[in-house]
């Protein structure tokens, strides 16, 4: 066996058992390094006579090319194996069930806002918003509540400056003004949001939630208001029939004004909504006062409509049998996991609001 054949067979044996990039590197050094087996053969060329040298050089070059190719092939083979191994190690089995963890819950107030938004969006209302910090003008004056009006005292206002020009809004009604000044009629909006009054007991919190409704168009009447609210309470309480009554009332920003009561009875210490001989007040409403339209730059000869305002927390308490309002704002996790809702169950009218 010639010297070159020997080298070649040693190489074959070694490359067969090479497993890593490092093995290959060692192999490369052993054969092609400064003192490598092939390198050394090249060094012998000079001492050969010309005829032999030519033949030997040609064989040597062939072997050199052959070994180099084998090294390259092996290198990409090892690379592939390493990549596949890495992919295998990092593989995530997405069919595995998730690890048990404490799931968050949707607060009943958020749930009820979503339910109400879904109900009103079915009949063409869109959702508008306004800031919690309001001007005295939007909260009272523009809503036809002049300086000396007794309604201002009834609202137990939190003022934020000495001149009583900036306040925490006492109701969501100022968003009526903002919405109308910001667009052109017709308007058909609901406005959920936080409201503030200096008041606190089992049924009153200094911060609470209201939902305002406003529908302004040509030829809107009290009949539309009744139809709209009748549809709303049935959908919201998820009952087919509901007893409802409109009681004359007074708000400076509506004329005529009414408060709406729904019928209920007590059965086994639980409140059953919709029938019975007891009445529960759920909202205030009326036809928007012409002065309000004037202040909001709407032509009251052409356009008119209704507005209503309801207490969201109150509705949530009624629907879900929660009897202390203060618990809403105490961030007690046990309370929330009992009364809260599944975040993946988004309420919609067609799929069901709360079931
Ligand atoms: N803003 C009134 C309140 O807070 C409710 C209401 C709104 C009444 C719109 C009539 C029209 O009590």
Q: What is the pLDDT of residues 200-233, one digit of tens each?
A: 777 778 999 999 999 999 999 999 999 999 999 9
Task: State the CB neighbour count (10 A cutoff) for residue 310.
Answer: 25
Mean pLDDT, range 326-340, rounded to an integer: 89
267: left (phi over 0), alpha (psi -120 to 50) or beta: beta
Q: What is the per-residue pLDDT for 269? A: 79
Task: Determine the distance separating the centroid of ligand 1 and the alpha carbon of 203, expressed in angstroms.
Answer: 18
Q: pLDDT at residue 253 above 70?
A: yes
Burial of 68 (0-12, 13-18, 19+ CB in 10 A): middle
Task: Determine the distance separating the centroid of ligand 1 and the alpha carbon of 170, expressed in angstroms.
Answer: 10
Query: What crossing angle do the helices spanning 50-90 and 21-32 adopt, rounded to 10°?
Result: 170
| Pocket lining: 308 vs ligand 1, CB cutoff 6 Å | yes
Q: Residue 192 carries which DSSP code?
A: E
Mean pLDDT, range 50-72, rounded to an integer: 90
| Pocket lining: 196 vs ligand 1, CB cutoff 6 Å | no
Task: Determine the distance separating the centroid of ligand 1 and the alpha carbon of 151, expressed in angstroms.
Answer: 11
| Pocket lining: 252 vs ligand 1, CB cutoff 6 Å | no
Task: Determine the distance separating the centroid of ligand 1 and the alpha carbon of 179, expressed in angstroms.
Answer: 16
Question: For the chain, how many helices (H) and strands (E)?
Answer: 12, 10
Q: What is the per-residue pLDDT for 122? A: 95
Q: What is the pLDDT of residues 258-297, one digit of tens each?
A: 999 999 888 887 888 888 898 988 999 999 999 999 999 9
| Pocket lining: 289 vs ligand 1, CB cutoff 6 Å | no
Task: Indicate whether this model's pTM tops 0.95.
Answer: no
DSSP letters spanning 91-144: ---TTSPPPP-----B-HHHHHHHHHHHHHHTTT-EE----SEEEHHHHTGGGT
Mean pLDDT, range 71-83, rounded to an integer: 92
Phi, psi of 164 (to 5 degrees): 55, 40
Task: Determine the distance separating the centroid of ligand 1 and the alpha carbon of 229, expressed in angstroms.
Answer: 14
Q: What is the per-residue pLDDT for 27? A: 92
Contacts of 107 (CB under 8 A, 6+ apart): 328, 336, 340
Q: pLDDT at residue 352 above 90?
A: no
d(C-alpha 285, C-alpha 259), whole Å: 6
Mean pLDDT, range 51-63, rounded to an integer: 89
From atom 7 of ligand 1, which residue's Cα is the shortest distance away?
Answer: 309
Q: What is the pLDDT of residues 2-28, one digit of tens each?
A: 888 899 999 999 998 889 899 999 999
Q: What is the per-residue pLDDT for 286? A: 98
- Measure the CA angle with vertex 26, ends 22 and 30; round to 5°: 170
Q: What is the per-residue pLDDT for 292? A: 98
Task: Determine the distance separating the centroid of ligand 1 and the alpha carbon of 250, expressed in angstroms.
Answer: 10
**With pLDDT > 70 as the criterion, what percentage of the chain qualifies?**
97
| Pocket lining: 251 vs ligand 1, CB cutoff 6 Å | yes
- Measure the CA angle with vertex 284, ends 283 and 287; round to 5°: 135
Q: What is the per-residue pLDDT for 225? A: 97
| Pocket lining: 287 vs ligand 1, CB cutoff 6 Å | no
Q: What is the pLDDT of residues 141-194, one digit of tens each?
A: 999 998 888 777 767 899 999 998 999 999 999 999 999 999 999 999 999 999
Q: Using 50, 70 and 90 to split pLDDT, how confident is the model at 94?
A: confident
Identify which of 120, 170, 104, 81 has the alpha carbon closest to the alpha carbon of residue 342.
104
d(C-alpha 25, C-alpha 70), whole Å: 13
Q: pLDDT at residue 355 above 90?
A: no
For all residues of the chain together, what is the average pLDDT? 90
SS3 string of 3-46?
A: HHHHHHHHHHHHHHHCCCHHHHHHHHHHHHCCCCHHHHHHHHHH
| Pocket lining: 307 vs ligand 1, CB cutoff 6 Å | yes
| Pocket lining: 284 vs ligand 1, CB cutoff 6 Å | yes
Task: Determine the distance separating the centroid of ligand 1 and the alpha carbon of 150, expressed in angstroms.
Answer: 15
Q: What is the per-residue pLDDT for 159? A: 92
Phi, psi of 152 (to 5 degrees): -65, -35
d(C-alpha 186, C-alpha 222), whole Å: 17
């Amino acid at each position: 066996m010639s010297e070159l054949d020997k080298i070649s067979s040693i190489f074959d044996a070694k490359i067969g058992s090479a497993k890593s990039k490092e093995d290959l590197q060692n192999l490369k050094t052993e054969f092609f390094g400064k003192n490598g087996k092939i390198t050394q053969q090249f060094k012998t060329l000079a001492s050969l006579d010309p005829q032999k040298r030519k033949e030997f050089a040609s064989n040597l070059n062939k072997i050199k090319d052959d070994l180099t190719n084998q090294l390259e092939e092996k290198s990409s083979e090892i690379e592939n194996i390493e990549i596949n191994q890495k992919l295998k190690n990092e593989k995530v089995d997405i069919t595995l069930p998730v690890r048990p963890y404490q799931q968050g819950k949707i607060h009943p107030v958020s749930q009820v806002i979503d339910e109400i938004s879904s109900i009103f969006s079915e009949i063409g209302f869109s959702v508008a918003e306004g800031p919690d910090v309001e001007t005295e003008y939007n909260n009272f004056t523009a809503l036809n509540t002049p300086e000396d009006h007794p309604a201002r005292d009834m609202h137990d206002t939190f003022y934020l400056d000495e001149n009583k020009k900036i306040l925490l809004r006492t109701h969501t009604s100022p968003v009526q003004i903002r919405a109308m000044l910001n667009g052109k009629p017709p308007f058909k909006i609901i406005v959920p949001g936080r409201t503030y009054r200096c008041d606190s007991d089992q049924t009153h919190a200094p911060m609470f939630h209201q939902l305002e409704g406003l529908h302004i168009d040509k030829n809107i009447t009290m009949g539309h208001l009744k139809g709209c609210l009748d549809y709303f309470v049935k959908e919201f309480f998820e009952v087919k029939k509901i007893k409802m009554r409109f009681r004359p009332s007074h708000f400076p920003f509506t004329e005529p004004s009414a408060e709406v009561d729904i019928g209920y009875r007590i059965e086994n210490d639980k409140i059953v909504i919709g029938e019975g001989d007891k009445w529960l007040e759920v909202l205030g409403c009326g036809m928007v006062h012409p002065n309000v339209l004037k202040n909001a730059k709407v032509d009251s000869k052409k356009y008119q409509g209704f507005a209503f305002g309801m207490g969201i927390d109150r509705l949530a308490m009624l629907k879900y049998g929660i009897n202390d309002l203060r618990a809403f704002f105490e961030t007690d996790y046990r309370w929330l996991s009992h009364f809260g809702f599944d975040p993946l169950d988004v309420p919609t009218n067609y799929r069901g609001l709360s079931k």
